[in-house]
Structure 1
Amino acid sequence: MKKYYQLSAALALSLFVLGGCAKNEDVDASITNIAVSNPDFQTLEDAALRGDVAVLLGNKNPNDAQGNYTVFAPTNGAFARLGLNTAQDLTALQQPFLRNTLLYHVFSGSLPGSGLTAGTSSPSALGPQRRIIRRADGTMYVNGSKILATDVRAANGLIHPIDKVLLATGADVLNSALALQSAKVFVKPELTFLVEAVIYANLTGALTGSPGSAPLTVFAPTDQAFKDLGVLLGVPLNQPSDIRKLPVATVTKVLLNHVVGGAQGGKFTSELPNGTTVASAGGDPVAFGAFINGVLTVKGAGNGTAVANMVIPDVQCTNGVVHVIDRVLLP
């Protein structure tokens, strides 16, 4: 952990120096060129090429009077948190999803560090808004991603390096899960057991929401999490349809234990109340661990000492935020 923060601090310092020098000389490098020349953005460079946005960010913005973009730029470490370390790893993502993900990091125009104030939101080139959050210790986040530095200048805008990839689906929680289940996000389907369980328990309506409904925080167990649950219960869950071996009342109760609404609905990791317990939609408690390295562990009352880790945190949906976890939360 200490090494991680040392690296983050070193990166932030180097980028502040780069930005500071740029103030006293003409800036010729585009956002794309800076990504190419800085080894801390190697995976971002690879992603921009595969996602077909490298040319876009290498030129002036035709929709801004000054020709500028502002990019929240994930470092190599940010991509590594998702298991994306090389250009080959990026092929695990469908190209349209990767492109949309990159556009979610882009703002049309100049958004300087001085404008990143707590409680404000800004639209992205993809469409969905991103929230600026300040934690009690003064650290700043965009959604659940820590802002490592600000105002790295480029010929066509600004770069703000961040420690996690920003994710948004442009769909509600249910349809976001369906996109994963039908391999529209990863080339390999995911959340297939969860989708089957939601349909079996007749909870599809609860996860689609309605205009004006309160946002949700949803913890979504991976397929492997459900398979592990089957081992624990002594009921083999080898394929999604095996969920129907369990009583529907049991499945419903378990699923509701993964949904949090009210004051804690629609929360990113940077906003969740670490070290506390909150009530789930089913009424049973869900406990959050400490906020470490930008994530929290989660535990249901029936999990004993076993906690769930966030595999893919902070996925913004139109009716809330989803955190993909590696363990089923038992009531």
Structure 2
Amino acid sequence: MKNLYKLKYIFITILTVSLVSSCQTESSFEDELPSIANIAVSNADFSTLEAAAVAGGVAGVLSNSNPNDASGAYTVFAPTNDAFARLGLNENTLGVLQKTFLTNTLLYHVSNGNLAGNTISDGGTSTSALSLDRRFIERGEDTYINGSKILATDVTASNGTVHVIDKVMIASGADIVQTAIALQSANVFTSPELTYLVEAVVYAELAEALTASEGSPSFTVFAPTDQAFIDLGAALGLTFTSPADIRQLPKETVQQVLLNHVIANDGKFTSELSAGTVTPLGGDDLTLGAFTNGTLTVTGAGNGGEVANMGIPDVQTTNGIVHVIDRVLLPNL
């Protein structure tokens, strides 16, 4: 594992000082190690994770041995407070997430057994507690799990191993269309995010193409928020006050605009995307900005140089990766 940060050594120092000062024998050191849950409780950098574990009902699970693995261990990829803050979340704002989604999100960070840092390599995978695979990607000197950079590895707990990451990983367990509907219907956030996009997909008759089926392709999709569509309406001299207002535009135009957000490239996390142009299913090439702090900007040929920023990157679906953005990407209409 490359480029480990000092956070790892802070943990090791804390644990070592604690153990040495108590004059325990080597055989009892393991008994005195904190559980995974207690690591979160005892470190201020994981206060949001601690609150999420309590709210999501998994704190008790991560306090005990793993009954589903012979070693009794879990491996947890633990997002820092800063990782949650990237989604606008902290200890006091976790209530914007539906509990089921929060619980599943936490379990997506957990796997059975001890996965040592030196066994993590580019192209490898790890199966989460949701039975969904996560993949490891090396980019320069850094290693990522999906689109989240691994900041530190091998923090040892009494019931497993903790690796520290810089972004919360999200998986819907559904295809692209059902994922958008889940966001639209408040099954993820208490306030819907993608109501206009769902309406546009239905209106443009593209739902079937973006629904997973055996042998269907996997996509990278840039998904504009409700506000992005409202802003588009204003730019066109239209007033969008409800998703149905998207139907003021010709169906063919909406279809062309939506296809300008879809890339048939097997679904790429941000850690697998680079600056340059990519060709969507319809319209003109999109321009990706530099990979910076785990995200990229994206610009449509018809956006006059105005970039779209990723608000929620790297949402894993069963037929691709969705990146929620703050601007509609326009082709040259």
TM-score in same-fold range (> 0.5): yes
Contact 1:278 1:285 in 2 (8 A): yes
Deviation of 1:10 after TM superposition, in Å, equals 4.3
Deviation of 1:115 after TM superposition, in Å, equals 1.5
2:302 maps to a residue whose letter is G
Separation in structure 2 between the aligned mates of residue 194 and residue 15 of structure 1, nearest angstrom = 44
Task: Determine the structure 2 residue equivalent to 1:34.
Answer: 39
Task: Determine the structure 2 residue equivalent to 1:176.
Answer: 179
Separation in structure 1 between the aligned mates of residue 216 and residue 15 of structure 2, nearest angstrom = 43
Contact 2:302 2:330 in 1 (8 A): yes
Separation in structure 1 between the aligned mates of residue 276 and residue 14 of structure 2, nearest angstrom = 40
Task: Determine the structure 2 residue equivalent to 1:77.
Answer: 82
Alignment of 1:266 onto 2:267: yes
How big is each residue's C-alpha offset from its partner over 1:191-249, in whole Å with a ceiling of 9 and x where there is no partner? 00000000000000111032122210000000000001011111111110000000111
Q: 2:193 aligns with which of 186, 190, 209?
A: 190
Contact 1:19 1:151 in 2 (8 A): no
2:308 maps to a residue whose letter is A
Task: Determine the structure 2 residue equivalent to 1:120.
Answer: 124
Deviation of 1:305 after TM superposition, in Å, equals 1.6
Q: 2:205 aligns with which of 202, 208, 219?
A: 202
Deviation of 1:19 after TM superposition, in Å, equals 7.1
Separation in structure 2 between the aligned mates of residue 224 and residue 182 of structure 1, nearest angstrom = 16
Shift in CA distance, 277/156, structure 1 to aligned 2, threshold 3 Å: same
Deviation of 1:12 after TM superposition, in Å, equals 4.3
Deviation of 1:16 after TM superposition, in Å, equals 5.2
Query: What secondary structure sits across from 2:302 in the alignment?
Result: helix
Task: Determine the structure 1 residue equivalent to 2:290.
Answer: 290
Contact 2:212 2:318 in 1 (8 A): no
Contact 2:35 2:159 in 1 (8 A): yes
Q: Give the fraction of aligned pairs with identical amino acids, expressed as a percent.
A: 60
Alignment of 1:59 onto 2:59: no
Name whichever of 13-22 and 215-224 sits farther off: 13-22
Alignment of 1:234 onto 2:237: yes
Cα RMSD, aligned residues only: 1.6
Contact 1:144 1:268 in 2 (8 A): yes
Shift in CA distance, 305/102, structure 1 to aligned 2, threshold 3 Å: same
Q: How does 1:1-331 map to 2 (within 5 A)?
A: 9-15=5-11, 17=13, 25-26=29-30, 27-86=32-91, 88-135=92-139, 137-261=140-264, 264-272=265-273, 274-331=274-331
TM-score normalised over the length of structure 2: 0.92
- In structure 1, list runs of 5 or more residues that go unmatched: 1-7
Separation in structure 1 between the aligned mates of residue 162 and residue 50 of structure 2, nearest angstrom = 14
Separation in structure 1 between the aligned mates of residue 65 and residue 270 of structure 2, nearest angstrom = 34
Contact 1:280 1:286 in 2 (8 A): yes
Query: What secondary structure sits across from 2:210 in the alignment?
Result: helix
Separation in structure 2 between the aligned mates of residue 293 and residue 128 of structure 1, nearest angstrom = 25
Query: What secondary structure sits across from 2:191 in the alignment?
Result: coil
Separation in structure 1 between the aligned mates of residue 86 and residue 103 of structure 2, nearest angstrom = 19
Deviation of 1:28 after TM superposition, in Å, equals 2.5
Separation in structure 1 between the aligned mates of residue 8 and residue 299 of structure 2, nearest angstrom = 33
TM-score normalised over the length of structure 1: 0.93
Larger radius of gyration: 2
Contact 1:15 1:149 in 2 (8 A): no
Name whichever of 247-256 and 278-287 sits farther off: 278-287
Name whichever of 209-218 and 143-152 sits farther off: 209-218
Query: What secondary structure sits across from 2:223 in the alignment?
Result: strand
How big is each residue's C-alpha offset from its partner over 1:166-201, in whole Å with a ceiling of 9 and x where there is no partner? 000000000000111111000111200000000000
2:162 maps to a residue whose letter is I
Separation in structure 1 between the aligned mates of residue 280 and residue 13 of structure 2, nearest angstrom = 46
Separation in structure 1 between the aligned mates of residue 119 and residue 198 of structure 2, nearest angstrom = 40
Separation in structure 2 between the aligned mates of residue 19 and residue 299 of structure 1, nearest angstrom = 47
Number of equivalenced pairs = 319
Query: What secondary structure sits across from 1:234 in the alignment?
Result: coil
Separation in structure 2 between the aligned mates of residue 324 and residue 19 of structure 1, nearest angstrom = 39
Separation in structure 2 between the aligned mates of residue 209 and residue 102 of structure 1, nearest angstrom = 24
Name whichever of 77-86 and 13-22 sits farther off: 13-22
Deviation of 1:309 after TM superposition, in Å, equals 0.3
